[in-house]
Amino acid sequence: MKLPPLLTLATALIASLAGAAPPTPKPPTAEEVKAYVEKLNADLLQLGARQGTAQWVKNTYITDDTERLAADADDAMLAYTAQALRDAQRFQGLKLDPQTARMLFLLRVNNSLLAPNDAKARKELTELGAKMEGLYGKGKYCGKDGKGPCRDLEQLSDVMDQSRDWDALLDAWTGWHAVGAQIRPLYVRFVEVANQGARDNGFANLGDLWRSAYDMPPADFEQDTERIWAQVKPLYEALHCYVRAKLQDVYGKQRIPDGGPIPAHLLGNMWAQEWANIYPLVEPYKGVGNLDITAALKAKGYDPIKLVKRGEAFYLSLGLDKLPETFWQRSMFTKPADREVVCHASAWDVTLHDDLRIKMCIKVNEEDLVTIHHELGHDYYYHAYYRLPALFQNGANDGFHEAIGDAIALSVNPGYYKQVGILDVLPPVNQQALINQQMKDALAKVAFLPFGKDIDQYRWNVFSGKIPTSQLNAGWWAIRLRDQGIAPPVPRTEADFDPGAKYHVPANVPYTRYFLARVLQFQFHRALCRAAGVTGPLYGCSIYGNKEAGRRLEAMLALGASRPWPDALEALTGERKMDGGALLEYFAPLQAWLTEQNKGRRCGW
């Protein structure tokens, strides 16, 4: 006979007082675990929609109120996840079916933050995140005397992109990097509370949590990134040597000595992460095969919406679906004149149910057209897996999500521009034109590799305490000098916090995904080109219009995170290991050319 609840409690209490142990609760059955996970996915969809909506509003309408709303939504998600993780401890040791076991694994590791057990600390964590991102989004430089005119990141980036004047570049660089100093005290506290959340959930620190999300032990993953970096490092070092020599011709060896690092403000980008904007300074063969895609786009009457339509048309040519009508109604394509927004380009499924959007401050130029192809890669990934349970609504690993659009963008090449009518004619293809094109590509792709690795290398060391909070800025520049061969253009102190001037640090977005994406995109591109039957060199392939390549791509996208990433990689490429070989194959002509050019130069730093 089943006892009433109060009688059951009384019986247990009497037994306890009499010295008898209370009855051991029965372990949950497999059916109970599956029911729990089903409810978990339903709850996460609801909370994710609330969080995505709040984050979208905060990013497209920055105020104290929207920051608070986003922090509240983040707090609700953190609190729910924390409780779910505690609940899931009941299932440890149970024999579960592979799908349920994977969902519980992803619940634990697919988080950039985990909540501390203390509710006050959890609330503080979300508020710190919202404040840091708000400071970044509202950041402005109003001149050395503070009397204006005030310029935001977009305007300062225009200087970095276009100017070749040492002093103007230095002014823009130091002006924006002052934003990091405002963020520093918040970040110091953020690290403390975020680490507590990681420890309360069984991880050594926040970096240990991040590295656990790759279907291998954290230490093995760190070794794997170093293995890949060792493969591609010689190509980067050859590029660095050549670029430094060319910049010496412009700015003089007194400012850029042989065997020394390159000053960080000279590389055409606020963070010296990609160097494509200095191509005119380092162009191997002046004027050979030059394609002014920006001018062509303007001549053809492209506006921001037409650029996005062009990007969608690429995916449609592969046999993929049209973007939903709500995409065109709800996206932010241009910078509003009446409010503060985060212009950093991003793609969204706001409600986790095919509510696809992009957020960009689009300018009509080649760079933004390529970025649109990239961001739509995220959206098509979201679209392919949005019917899966919430815990599977992710990339096979986070590098996959970034690599999809990048792989597509590798097909956005001169042949593609001619095919879709952006260019009317192509200049003759010869070895000099090829080297010029590869140089342009390498300044964007290869130059980025150490930066893509080092953002998280730095943060892993901060989270672990290897870089103490008293050395936050010195530790940043030591890593960048070691791998990237760049240095700050003026002396920096611990009053500065230069990593805070990069969006992903105050926004707490893990960054190794971008390093992996720079490698994976070439593996994906090679596999898609083979599927399309292209037999020529990898650098000349475009899969535009090929339905078989689209079918292979969509089959992998539809897996989401339901399988370990080596399975997804194998589904598309036939390989189970991330590898830099395809990248080196793509840039083989340039690497051979750089080796010849650098003979007699003092390379390294």
Q: Which residues are catalytic?
A: 344-345, 374-375, 378, 402, 504, 514
Q: Give CA angle at 243 (239, 249), nearest 5°.
A: 155
φ/ψ of residue 203, rounded to 5:
-110, 150
Q: Name the residue with tokens 């992109």.
A: 161
Of 514, 562, 527, which is closest to residue 400 (Cα–Cα)? 514
Euclidean distance between CA atoms 527 and 553, whole angstroms = 9
What three-state secondary structure class fits 23?
coil
373 CB-contact burial (10 Å; exposed 0-12 / middle 13-18 / buried 19+): buried
Structure tokens at 584: 């080196």
How far is residue 108's CA from residue 111's CA, in Å, rounded to a whole number? 7
CA distances to 53, 346, 393 from 45, rounded to whole Å, are 12, 20, 10
Please work out, in degrees rounded to the nearest 5, the angle formed at the alpha carbon of residue 456 by the alpha carbons of 479 and 341: 115
Separation of CA 295 from chain center: 29
Pairing of strands 486-487, 262-263: parallel
User: How far apart are the C-alpha atoms of 246 and 402, rounded to whole Å?
Assistant: 31
Contacts for 475 with CB less than 8 Å, ≥ 6 apart: 458, 461, 462, 467
Q: How far apart are CA 93 and CA 378, in angstroms?
A: 36
Q: Provide the b/e sequence for 173-183 (b: ≥16 CB within 10 Å).
A: bbbbbbbbbbb
Q: C-alpha dihedral over 274, 279, 281, 287, to 10 degrees?
A: 180
CA distance 362 to 359: 9
Backbone angles phi, psi at 487, to 5 degrees: -145, 160
Q: Does residue 468 have a cis peptide bond before it, meaning omega lies within 30 degrees of 0? A: no
